[in-house]
């Protein structure tokens, strides 16, 4: 049983901690989002393949890679239970160890990857896009494993995302966060057959 369907006050991380462990939820600006059903095979294949690649890159440097479920608390009081936003990005890369703690992270990742699935696609491209921009995530990758493309939003000097860079299956994604690394899409999209 998840959170009640209606509540007069916004949900917080303290509320989230009371929900059953077997259910997956996110809270964005006090609104609860159910994370079920589980993602499909193409999503999970892309997640596994890309997480391996990113972890190999970050293990060789100063950043760390985490995969969902991994709580990322964002908001005014992220170190305590009153944070009104807790998300579980498919993949998070952190280059600032001070935002990591035993519960996940209490600050924005440097790079976030969300892999589209039918139940989360709209949220990933609207609410999460706005959230990650507002919290200054330097790179936000939206991966479409079925369509074999990736959109990369980069935080500009004005603290806003511009038009995303668009990469297709025969190209390589360029990451400024990962020291200019180039990752061929064919290594992680369209691999489930």
Q: Would you list the domain boundaries of the chain?
A: 40-187
Measured in degrees and rounded to the nearest 5, phi and psi for residue 117 equal: -140, 160
pLDDT for position 79: 55
Per-residue tokens: 16:
């989230």
CATH topology of domain 40-187: tt1808, chain A (3.90.1570)
pLDDT for position 190: 72
Mean pLDDT by 10 residues, the chain (193 residues): 62 88 88 86 95 96 95 74 84 96 95 94 94 97 95 96 95 96 92 52
Q: Which of 82, 130, 90, 122 is nearest to 106 (CA)?
A: 82
Please report, in angstroms and rounded to a whole number, the separation of the first and last CA atoms in the chain: 35
Q: Which of 47, 134, 136, 35 is nearest to 88 (CA)?
A: 35
Per-residue tokens: 138:
């330097």
The dihedral through the CA atoms of 66, 107, 140, 94 has a sign that is negative
Q: What is the pTM of this model?
A: 0.91
pLDDT for position 188: 94
């Amino acid at each position: 049983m998840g959170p009640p369907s209606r509540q007069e006050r916004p949900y917080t991380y303290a509320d989230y901690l009371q929900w059953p462990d077997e259910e997956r939820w996110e809270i964005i600006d006090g609104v609860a989002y159910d994370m079920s059903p589980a993602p499909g095979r193409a999503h999970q294949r892309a997640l596994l393949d890309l997480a391996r690649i990113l972890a190999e890159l970050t293990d060789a440097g100063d950043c760390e890679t985490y995969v969902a479920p991994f709580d990322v608390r964002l908001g005014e009081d992220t170190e305590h239970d009153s944070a009104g936003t807790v998300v579980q990005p498919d993949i998070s890369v952190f280059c600032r160890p001070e935002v990591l703690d035993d519960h996940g992270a209490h600050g924005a990742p440097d790079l976030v990857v969300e892999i589209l699935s039918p139940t989360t696609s709209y949220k990933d491209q609207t609410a999460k896009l706005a959230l990650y921009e507002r919290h200054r995530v330097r790179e936000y990758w939206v991966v479409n494993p079925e369509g074999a493309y990736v959109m990369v939003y980069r935080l500009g000097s004005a603290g806003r995302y511009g038009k995303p860079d668009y990469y297709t299956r025969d190209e390589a994604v360029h990451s400024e966060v990962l020291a200019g690394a180039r990752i061929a899409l064919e290594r992680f999209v369209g691999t489930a057959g």
